[in-house]
Amino acid sequence: MTLIPGPMNVEPQSLEALIAEFAGLPGIGQKTARRLAYHMLTRSKADVERFSNNMLNAAEKVHPCPKCHGFTDQEVCPICASRVGAKSICVVEKSSDIVPFERSGIYKGLYFVLGGVISPLDGIGPEHLHLPELVERIKTEGIEELVLALGSSPEADSTALMIDRMLAGVNVKRTRLARGIPMGSDLEFVDEVTMLRAFEGRVSL
Amino acid sequence: MTLIPGPMNVEPQSLEALIAEFAGLPGIGQKTARRLAYHMLTRSKADVERFSNNMLNAAEKVHPCPKCHGFTDQEVCPICASRVGAKSICVVEKSSDIVPFERSGIYKGLYFVLGGVISPLDGIGPEHLHLPELVERIKTEGIEELVLALGSSPEADSTALMIDRMLAGVNVKRTRLARGIPMGSDLEFVDEVTMLRAFEGRVSL
């Protein structure tokens, strides 16, 4: 019987490289990355090429809108282009936060993507966000209502405060999204902070 | 004030296409797919190109080993190539199942990737698996022990039974992995079937 070597790294280098790519995605751990990479190997060549091309294509064509910083593949995004003259602007942290607004159909105004929230621990100061452009846009476009939709972390709260300060003397109504019990939630499992805010914000029937 | 249109599909077509690609991966839902696609847009062009190339590269170079059907980028996989003469063969469902064996270092024999388990509901019959090749390999290589490592579903059990039948008259010891309480598991949360099997398989101290 020949010499049998010890445990070996059975994965080809090119497969390891693909696992590493998937593992570099946010929220994807080593196990999921391995599962996804092995899955790709079971796909047809045409399938893999299409995925690869769609990735390159999106990265090449999509860029931030120069007016609102939301992702677009046009010179100016369709919302900024078509809602010229709208008098409200909704401030969100990132481009994907626009999707649920548009899906609900409740809001017909403009958006502004801040590019994050102030977070000293992560090294994100006001200078990393598009704050001056927001103030400028509010002033020059005669915006009447600013809707803050920045989530409910302490960082979001201090960013909201910063925006409020920068708009001192500017005649614009400032609102933020309501906080409370989400739809379909079982009261038993609602966390303390949400309950606190839902109770504080209770309304008469 | 100009006419303000209704809710719109705010995502560029190329971004939608990338979201669809991610959503087509196993275990990745629509929300995660959107998150991953938006994340890719924040990456540098070089990063995206490297990811895309690693995907193409893996799909091009990696193929099933002609002997064991495990993924490899060589003519014959390093395990089949280096463990010639080993007298045991471990049968797994898919190529990635080899990884935990090699990582543990407990096993120094050959592997055989079946390509699935018999599952009539999913339209997978014995003819879709590499069963005849397995029997052939056991016979021609003088394998002494067949270790079944097919998981513990009813489908895996019936596949094991089928293999057992196909080997009628072949002088090979057949074993399967032990079933019981996994390491680090809290007994309180062990499911009934695992507990049943752990109790049935209890050993003297």
Please give, rounded to a whole number of angstroms, the shortest distance from the CA of A21 to a CA of chain B. 6
Q: Calculate how close chain B gets to A66, using CA atoms only, in Å.
A: 15
- Mind telling me how many Å the CA of B200 is from chain A's nearest CA? 31
Are residues B108 and A5, on separate chains, in Cβ contact within 8 Å?
A: yes
Asked if B54 lies within 8 A of A17 by C-beta distance, the reply is yes
Using an 8 Å Cβ cutoff, are B57 and A17 in contact?
A: yes
pLDDT for A118-171, tens place per residue? 998 989 988 899 999 999 999 999 999 999 998 888 899 999 999 999 999 999
- Beta-carbon contacts of B145 under 8 Å, excluding residues fewer than 6 positions away, are B87, B88, B89, B109, B172, B173, B174, B175
Locate the chain A residue with the closest alpha carbon to B49: A56
Amino acid of residue A66 = P
Provide the residue-wise pLDDT of chain B in tens; the chain has 205 residues: 445 555 567 789 999 999 999 999 999 999 999 999 999 999 999 999 999 999 999 999 999 999 999 999 999 999 999 999 999 999 999 999 999 888 888 899 999 999 999 998 989 988 899 999 999 999 999 999 999 998 888 899 999 999 999 999 999 999 988 888 888 888 888 888 888 888 888 877 7
- Alpha helices, DSSP H only, in chain B? 13-23, 30-41, 45-61, 78-82, 98-104, 131-140, 154-166, 192-200
Closest alpha carbon within chain B to A51: B21
| pLDDT of the residue at A1 | 44
Contact flag B10-A78 (C-beta cutoff 8 Å): yes
Residue-level pLDDT at B178: 86
Q: Which amino acid is at B75?
A: E
Interface contacts A/B by beta carbons within 8 Å: 206
Chain-chain contact of A40 with B58 (C-beta, under 8 angstroms): yes
Point out which residues pair with A64 in neighbouring strands. Answer: A71
Q: What is the pLDDT of residue B165?
A: 93
Q: What is the pLDDT of residues A84-129, one digit of tens each?
A: 999 999 999 999 999 988 888 889 999 999 999 999 898 998 889 9
For residue B153, what are the contacts with CB-CB under 8 A and spacing of at least 6?
B117
- pTM score: 0.80
| Interchain proximity A38–B85, CB inside 8 Å | no
Interface contact A55-B51, CB threshold 8 A: yes
CB contact under 8 A, A55 and B6: no
Q: Which member of A13, A37, A103 has the closest CB to residue B7?
A: A103
Cβ proximity of A22 and A28 under 8 Å: yes
Q: What is the ipTM of this complex?
A: 0.81
- Tokens for B6? 């209704």
Bridge partners, residue A110, by sequence: A89
CA-angle at B30, arms to B25 and B34, nearest 5°: 95
- What is the distance in angstroms between the Cα of B9 and the nearest Cα belonging to chain A? 7
Q: What's phi and psi for A186, nearest 5 deg?
A: -85, 125
Q: Which residue of B has its CA nearest to A85?
A: B1
